Structure 1
Amino acid sequence: MRRASVERKTKETDISITLCLDGEGRAEIATGIGFYDHMLEQLARHSLMDITIKAEGDLHIDAHHTVEDVGITLGLALKKALGERRGIRRYGHAYVPMDETLSRVAVDISGRPFLVWKLAFTQDRLGEMDTELFEEFARAFAFAAGITLHVENLYGLNNHHKIESCFKGLAMALRMAVELDPRRGDQIASTKGTIGG
């Protein structure tokens, strides 16, 4: 089983995350931000990764530090669990409809962190979470994990549907990308012979 545990403690947050790539989609999420917890539960369920997140942050200020630092820590856990990335498919993508909304997510476990984010909201908050923080999560996660991540909402009206379809798309794209390819065996999916470092 490919798994990792990472702890990150600063003056702003105290976070511990356990991640199992070859799980069943189980989630134990407690960030203190209800809507964020809901999205992270979607990430676990649809990626079939088992994810445990315990986060305490300076929510009396706002949710920014907690959201970003969970993204960093989750990205570090993914990177650690992947190890040398031997045998993985490397690339993953998904189109996810949710009622009137359609979103597309593509992932390359490349070792070259990059984020393309094309998602616009028509309200400032969902629950107690500022909608601008979803991009902060995506950037923190992608750069800490060392992945290239493209997230795009193609169309839709409901802001909840927009972001939920993107989290589900991320989950399904990651599931595809981290999956072990039986045809690849122990090889690394790069002509360089290494991914990242």
Structure 2
Amino acid sequence: MRYFILLTVLGLIGLDGCKVPSGKPDDPTAPVTTVYKIKAGGNYADHNDFSYTAKTTLSFSAIFDSSAVYTNKIPENQHDINKLYGFSDCNVQHNTSSARFGWNWRDKALRIYAYCYRNGERVSEELGTVELNKPADYQISIVGGNYVFTFKGKETIIARGCNIVQSNQRYRLYPYFGGDEPAPHDIIISITEK
């Protein structure tokens, strides 16, 4: 509840696109919430600084507000999957090998997907829906030759394109709108990596 109130206050005073400690301010290990903004007419979120991670598990929570409701100009593009958060893999570019969660607004619901590139081939699977303005937990783990996506307590397994486990060459993949069309209006997503 405290988390939701903090984000509501930030939204009211216009502090979108910022980083806010989620725990005690003097605790350097406390998770940090980053409020990402994808500007109208753009694809990339702010705060998308290039950063490597050696983690084999990425756990986070995310909150979408009403800005996640949109209508594409071309109706079939409503099925395009926007990107939420994840990482590249196998010491290659993310459009060759990566794992992340995706999302779109379709049929009056915010739908969540497992979204991967495996040897350059796009693989996705719908995982469920989330409510606006409520936090949901997400986790991607590398387990041998698979990605294990955990959403709403259910695990979904998608094969990787390699078996490399120890690597510091994974880089984070941040919120991105598209598909074929840019964001029709500003979109705000709050993510707290755990």
When the two structures are superposed, what TM-score results if normalisation uses the length of structure 1? 0.35
Q: Which has the higher strand share?
A: 2
Q: Which has the higher helix share?
A: 1
Q: Larger RCO: Structure 1 or Structure 2 (Cα < 8 Å, ≥ 6 residues apart)?
A: 2
